[in-house]
Amino acid sequence: MTTARDIMTPDAECVGENDDLVTAARKMRDLNVGALPICGEDGKLKGMLTDRDIVVKVLAEGGDPSSTRAGSLGEGKPITIGADDDLEEAVRTMKQYQVRRLPVIDGHKLVGMVAQADIARALPPERVGDLLEDISS
């Protein structure tokens, strides 16, 4: 059985909930990613921040990214997957919530990220098209 732990990118880096969006954007640039988990002072996952969030919710509204905190954009309970959940659970979760990335948690600790591409590489080729269509629709 393939698990989230088997296919995830380990050691996901967080942006702190009190970090400003300029710091978050630079971290995204440096890591070459479009999304970062938002972690609290307690080390627990507080949400997800995307480059689109920064542009649409702050810049387009005339907000100041140097004074806006990452934690202010973490809305609701983050959609996650357990490290020992199987590949099919990851597929179901992505489809259900229409997300392309899942933070992987072990207990309450963030241990990695599973992206749509990670799942696509792990699936049989005949299932990849359906996955992409289901998540993107």
> pLDDT tens-digit profile of 99-124?
889 999 998 889 999 998 898 888 88
pLDDT digits over 33-56, tens only?
A: 999 999 998 878 899 999 999 999
- Spatial neighbors of 78 by CB under 8 A, at least 6 apart, are 37, 45, 46, 47, 48, 103
Token pair, residue 24, equals 């978050």
The answer to whether the CB of 51 falls within 8 A of the CB of 35 is yes
Helix crossing, 125-136 with 87-97: angle to 10°? 30
Q: Determine the pLDDT at residue 43.
A: 78
Whether residue 86 has pLDDT greater than 90: yes
Domains by residue range for the chain, with CATH: 4-136 (3.10.580.10)
